[in-house]
Amino acid sequence: MPEQPIDVLDAYRQSAGLSHGELWLRYFELGGMSTGFELETFLYGLVAPESHDHDVIAHALNERFTELGRDHPVAYERDERDERDERDSLDS
Amino acid sequence: MTANPSSFDVITTTQGQSTVLALRGRVEHGAAFELGALLDSVIERHPDELVLDLSELEFVGAAGMVAISNAEKRLSDLGRALIVRSPSVLVNRLLDMMEIAEETRRELALPGHGPLGPEEEGVPSTARDEPLPSPSSSDPRRVMALPAHPDVVDGALRLVVELARAFVGGADGVSVSLLRHGVLSTVAASDQTILAMDADQYATGEGPCVDASLQGHWFHAASLETETRWPSFTPRARALGIKAIMSSPLNAFEQPVGALNIYSRTAESFEIKDQQSAAVFAQKASVILSDAGAGVSETQLASRYKEALRSRKVITLATGIVMEREGIDEEDAFSALLRQSLSHGDLLRDRAQKTVLSARQPEVGPGRDSDA
C-alpha cells in the first residue's frame, strides 16, 4: 500500500481552501469536542484522533468539498470499521 | 529596527547522517546573501539530510525565504532532503506558498514533544500511546480565528507581494488590495508605479483589481492594447507602461475581501503556469487573511458562531433521538446520522433537523429512515 503523507488531513484542508480557524468552526458545528490546537495536531498527523473524531473532521472537509462541487474525497474510518465488523460477523 | 538589523547566528552540528543548522536572530534583507552562501557551502559537502532548525529564529524576510527555497531546489536535485524544524506559523505559511514546484518537510514544534524523527510512519491506523498535548494551550489564535493586529497582517502580505514578484513568471509588479471598513486600499505594493495603478482603479471605480475584490472572481487582461472592459482605467495603465494584469480574489470566511494584483510591462506575458502560480499565491494569502480574521466584522463573526452553535445543538439533539430509537451509543448514533446524510445527499445539520422534526410527530410513524 502506498504510504500516505503524515499530514494528509491538512493537505485536504488546504485543498478545500479552509483556514485552521474555519475548519475548527465547521468541526465544532458538527459536534467536535477537541480544541483548535488539538485539531491542528490531528491535521498534521502528530497525534492520531479517535475514529469518531477523525470522521467528524472528515465530514467537515467533505461538506466543504460538496460546496465546491467536488466529490467526498476524505475517507471515513468508522464506515470501514463497521464494514469490517459486518464482514467478520458474516464470516463467523 | 535595531542598529544591526541583519544579525543572525548559526550553530552547526552533525547528527548521524544529518547536518543541523540552528538559526538564531533575524535574517533581514542584507543577511539573506550570507544565509544563501552558508547553505551553499553546506550543500557542497553533500549531507544526506539538511535540517534547518528555526526554533530560535525571530524573523526571516522574503530574501531569506528565497535563499531557503534555492537551497531546497539544489538539495532536491541531488536527491537529498531539506527538513525545516519548528518554523513559526508565518514561516510555515510562507513555506506553503513556495511549495508550488517542490516539497519541503516540516517538523512543527509541539510543547513537551521532541520534533518527529524522519522515520516517523505515515498516518497511523491505531491510536498511539502518546499523550495529547496540553489542551490548555494559551494561544487563543489556535482555538479560533480572532482578528489579528492589522500591522501583522500587512507585514505578512508584504512578504506575499515580494514572493509573488520573485516566483510568478512575467510579474513586473505585484500588489495586494484589501477591503477595510468598506473601502478598498493597497496594503502592499512592490513599487510606486504599482501603487499608482491601484489608486487609478480606486479613483475610476473600475479595473481588474476592483472587480476581483468586489465580485470575488478572477480577472485576466492579457493585453491592455485590446482590453475593452475598463474604458476609464485602461488608458491610465497604458500611459504608465503596463500591458497585462492578473487579479485574483482574496477570500476570508468565504467572502471576497481583496485581490492579489500582478502587473506586467509585456503583453501576453502570463502563461498558464503563471496563472496557476498566481492562484496558489492568492489562495495562500487568503488563508493568512482568514487566520487573521480579516474582513470579518465582529457582528459577522458573532452571527457565524451563533449559527454554528445552533447547528451543533440540532445535531446533538438528533444524535440523542437516534440513540433512544436504536438503543445504541452516542458515537454509533452519530455514525448512523452521518451515513443517512451521505446516502440522502443532505448536509448533516439538515438531516439532523429532519430527525428532530420526525421526533416531534411520532404519529406519522413509519416515514422515518430505517437505514440507520
Residues composing chain B: 372
Region A55-84: mean pLDDT is 85
B149's CB contacts (< 8 A; 6+ apart) are: none
Q: What is the pLDDT of residue A35?
A: 87
- Alpha-carbon span B6 to B25, nearest angstrom: 8
DSSP letter at B336?
H
- Alpha-carbon span A32 to A54, nearest angstrom: 10
Q: In degrees rounded to 5, what are phi and psi of residue B148? A: -90, 165
Coil, helix or strand for A1? coil
- Alpha-carbon span B322 to B258, nearest angstrom: 44
A interface test, pick of B83, B86, B142 with most A CB neighbours within 10 Å: B142
Say if residue B162's pLDDT is above 70: yes
The pLDDT tens digits for B77-123 are 888 888 888 776 666 666 666 654 344 556 654 433 333 323 333 33
Is the CB of A6 less than 8 angstroms away from the CB of B120?
yes
The pLDDT tens digits for B196-230 are 999 999 999 999 999 999 998 999 999 999 999 99
Greater confidence, B182 or B173?
A: B173
- Alpha-carbon span B19 to B42, nearest angstrom: 8
pTM for this model (two decimals): 0.49
Greater confidence, B238 or B299?
A: B238
Q: Average model confidence (pLDDT) for chain B? A: 78
Q: What is the pLDDT of residue A83?
A: 55
Say if residue B130's pLDDT is above 50: no
Window 143-162 of B: residues touching A by CB (8 A cutoff) are 143-145
The pLDDT tens digits for A36-45 are 888 989 998 8
Region B164-181: mean pLDDT is 91
DSSP letter at B110?
B
How many A×B Cβ pairs under 8 Å?
124
Region B277-290: mean pLDDT is 86
Region B176-187: mean pLDDT is 87
Is the CB of A46 less than 8 angstroms away from the CB of B116?
yes
The H or E element that residue A27 is part of is helix A20-29
Could you tell me which residues of chain A have a Cβ less than 8 Å from any Cβ in chain B? 3-6, 8-9, 14, 17-22, 24-26, 28-31, 34-38, 40-41, 44-48, 50, 52, 55-56, 59, 63, 66, 72, 76, 78-79, 82
The pLDDT tens digits for A1-16 are 556 778 899 999 988 8
- Alpha-carbon span A88 to B154, nearest angstrom: 57
Q: How crowded is the C-beta side of B320, counted as CA atoms within 13 Å?
A: 10
B76 φψ region: left (φ > 0), alpha (ψ -120 to 50), beta (else): alpha
Q: What is the pLDDT of residue B370?
A: 46
- Alpha-carbon span B57 to B364, nearest angstrom: 65
Is the CB of A17 less than 8 angstroms away from the CB of B287?
yes
What one-letter code names the amino acid at A59?
A: H
Q: Average model confidence (pLDDT) for chain A? A: 84
Greater confidence, B49 or B133?
A: B49
- Alpha-carbon span B168 to B273, nearest angstrom: 8
**Which residues partner with B12 through β-bridges?**
B21
Q: What is the pLDDT of residue B126?
A: 35
The pLDDT tens digits for B46-81 are 888 888 888 888 777 777 877 887 888 788 888 888
Region B226-254: mean pLDDT is 92
Asked if B99 and B82 count as a contact pair (C-beta separation under 8 A), the reply is no
Say if residue A85's pLDDT is above 60: no
Q: How far is B107 from chain A (nearest CA, A)?
A: 9
Query: With b meaning 16 or more CB within 10 Å and e meaning fewer, what string describes B159-170?
Result: bbbbbbbbbbeb
The highest-confidence range among B248-257, B276-285, B298-307, B329-338, by mean pLDDT, is B329-338
- Alpha-carbon span A5 to B294, nearest angstrom: 31
- Alpha-carbon span B141 to B340, nearest angstrom: 35
